[in-house]
Structure 1
Amino acid sequence: MNEEELRQIIKKAKSGDQVSREKVLSHFRSFVLNVASRITHRFLTWSDDESSIGLNALNKAIDHYDEKMGKHFLSYSYLLISRELIDFFRKERKFNHLSLEEGRPIDGEGEEGETSPYEWEEALRRHQWEEGRAELIQEILLYESELEKYHLSFHELPDISPKHKDTRQNCFKLAQTFATSPELVEKLRKKRRLPIADLARYSGTPTKTIEKNRKYILAVIILLLHPDLERLKEYIRKGGDET
């Protein structure tokens, strides 16, 4: 399902087309299960409550998603799934990342309902760390879904990544060059494969060099072109040897 197809089917689902709604829910079932498993830090099946909560959140995302938000549908869905699960954990008293709800005094000090400055500070630090981690997981899941459109897998990235630093940097520069050409980008999105000959002519790089690292270059291009993968882009620039 490409971006335009997704846009249209969501529009139909929002207008009351139940068949379109079921198509969206069915298409992203594995996404929901993956997100719920990552958030709960354990393997889940569809017999678990958390999975059903995630699917219900996806259903809500269909109703409330608006392109004007500036977010991809899966990014928005991730946020809703995360919020619904956090609410569920709080109600079930399983959500213990922030221990602020009870407001118990430390070592018998303070009055009922009070928390020390240290408790608030520590809770905020943990909350910020969790938020950052959740955003990164969200980007990884979104990146996974984008790679699948081009018959690539997130899990194969370590295997297709060039072993030498110079080669990785050259591939990254090729990807950057590609991303600056509207014509090349249009061909990529239309045919769902890297136009190697066109990139060779545009960049002056031998075709054999591009072919040898085709998958890695394509994976980096997909990352660079997506507007909602800023954390992963930063990782590629720093941890990915981009200077």
Structure 2
Amino acid sequence: MLLSIIHGLFKPKQDIGELAQLAKAGNEEVLNDLLFAHAPFMKKTASFVCKRTIDEHDEEFSVAMHGFHEAIQRYKASEKASFLTFAHLIIKRRLIDFIRNESARKERVYLIEPSNEESSNQHYIFDEQSIHTYSETQRAQSRKEELLLYKQALANFNLTFEELTKCSPKHEDSRKTAFYIAQIVAQSEELYSYLDNNKKLPIKQLESLVEVSRKTIERHRKYIIAVVILLNSDYTYLKDYVKGEII
């Protein structure tokens, strides 16, 4: 199994996403093989985030490995997004969280060793601005990656950002109503399963749950589906934009 994973020689239909599902289901051999075979991927991702070379002796590598394992546990093949793209995103988030926690813990960054000519007191400087700038850069990159994943997820329902811009409710009341309906679908295993399997809203079931007409539901169908996808996703940064809408 391990050689198959490393060399990519597994059966045509048994791609890494399917292997991740096997590991998620409890296959310890596949899980261990995936973690071993993708150690270079974890190092590369960690090095990219940390802007320096990371190897297995660094704490950041341990964080990256935990992130990869988390990606296996959270990955859903139904989303159609590349597993490695998803894993890359999760690893980046965990590393950014780690860096932020470390920065908060070390409120002051020791930068200068005292020379013989200087006072014996250690010199510290506050690097808050640098930390802030770095965090903002990482957040911007994460939002960009989430937008790409969201675009892929929308495409599974034949939706695009351009369409959503045109069909989004113009009035606040209409938007709140559509958002409320989306929450009902997202929080119901039965309704969400119907949407995911059929790629369309369970309008008949919704009619009996909400006090709006079928015509209203159909008018905002695309917007409702887009919100459902967002609510049931792991797009942390994109969700920040709709926090005020969630009931």
CA RMSD of aligned residues (A): 4.0
Give the corresponding residue for 1:117: 125
Corresponding letter in the other structure for 1:76: A
Matched, 1:170 2:162: no
Matched, 1:199 2:206: yes
Give the corresponding residue for 1:138: 145
Corresponding letter in the other structure for 1:77: H
Corresponding letter in the other structure for 1:231: Y
Query: Do 2:186 and 2:228's aligned partners in 1 also have CA atoms closer than 8 Å?
Result: yes
- Give how far 1:230 is off: 2.5
Structure 2: gaps of 5 or more residues? 17-39, 46-64, 76-82, 94-110, 113-117
Secondary structure at 2:158 match in 1:
coil
Matched, 1:209 2:216: yes
- Give how far 1:75 is off: 2.7
Query: Do 2:71 and 2:90's aligned partners in 1 also have CA atoms closer than 8 Å?
Result: no
For 1:154-169, what aligned pairs fall within 5 Å after superposition? 154-169=161-176
Matched, 1:77 2:98: no
Query: Do 1:160 and 1:216's aligned partners in 2 also have CA atoms closer than 8 Å?
Result: yes
Deviations 1:178-209 (A, max 9, x none): 22221111111111221222222232431111
Deviations 1:124-160 (A, max 9, x none): 1211111221222222111111111111113332212
Give the corresponding residue for 1:236: 242
> Could you say if the C-alpha distance between residues 116 and 153 of structure 1 is closer, same or farther in structure 2, counting changes exceeding 3 Å?
farther
Corresponding letter in the other structure for 1:235: Y
**TM-score normalized with structure 2 length:** 0.55
| CA–CA distance in structure 1, aligned partners of residues 217 and 185 of structure 2 | 12
- State which structure, 1 or 2, has the greater radius of gyration over its C-alpha atoms: 2
| CA–CA distance in structure 1, aligned partners of residues 152 and 144 of structure 2 | 13
Structure 1: gaps of 5 or more residues? 1-11, 25-55, 83-102, 105-109
| CA–CA distance in structure 2, aligned partners of residues 78 and 141 of structure 1 | 11
Deviations 1:206-243 (A, max 9, x none): 111100111001100111111x11222221133xx557
- Give how far 1:20 is off: 4.3
Q: Which of 154, 157, 174 does residue 150 from structure 1 map onto?
A: 157
Deviations 1:54-95 (A, max 9, x none): xx969x89xx8546654543332346799xxxxxxxxxxxxx
Matched, 1:183 2:160: no
- Give how far 1:123 is off: 2.0
Give the corresponding residue for 2:31: none
Query: Do 1:57 and 1:80's aligned partners in 2 also have CA atoms closer than 8 Å?
Result: no
Query: Do 1:143 and 1:154's aligned partners in 2 also have CA atoms closer than 8 Å?
Result: no
Secondary structure at 1:150 match in 2:
coil
> Could you say if the C-alpha distance between residues 68 and 148 of structure 1 is closer, same or farther in structure 2, counting changes exceeding 3 Å?
closer
| CA–CA distance in structure 1, aligned partners of residues 231 and 179 of structure 2 | 10
Give the corresponding residue for 2:135: 128
Give the corresponding residue for 2:33: none
Query: Do 1:57 and 1:81's aligned partners in 2 also have CA atoms closer than 8 Å?
Result: no
| CA–CA distance in structure 1, aligned partners of residues 86 and 71 of structure 2 | 13
- Give how far 1:15 is off: 7.6
> Could you say if the C-alpha distance between residues 213 and 57 of structure 1 is closer, same or farther in structure 2, counting changes exceeding 3 Å?
same
Corresponding letter in the other structure for 2:125: P
Q: Percent identity?
A: 30
Secondary structure at 1:202 match in 2:
coil
Query: Do 1:13 and 1:20's aligned partners in 2 also have CA atoms closer than 8 Å?
Result: no
| CA–CA distance in structure 2, aligned partners of residues 66 and 21 of structure 1 | 22
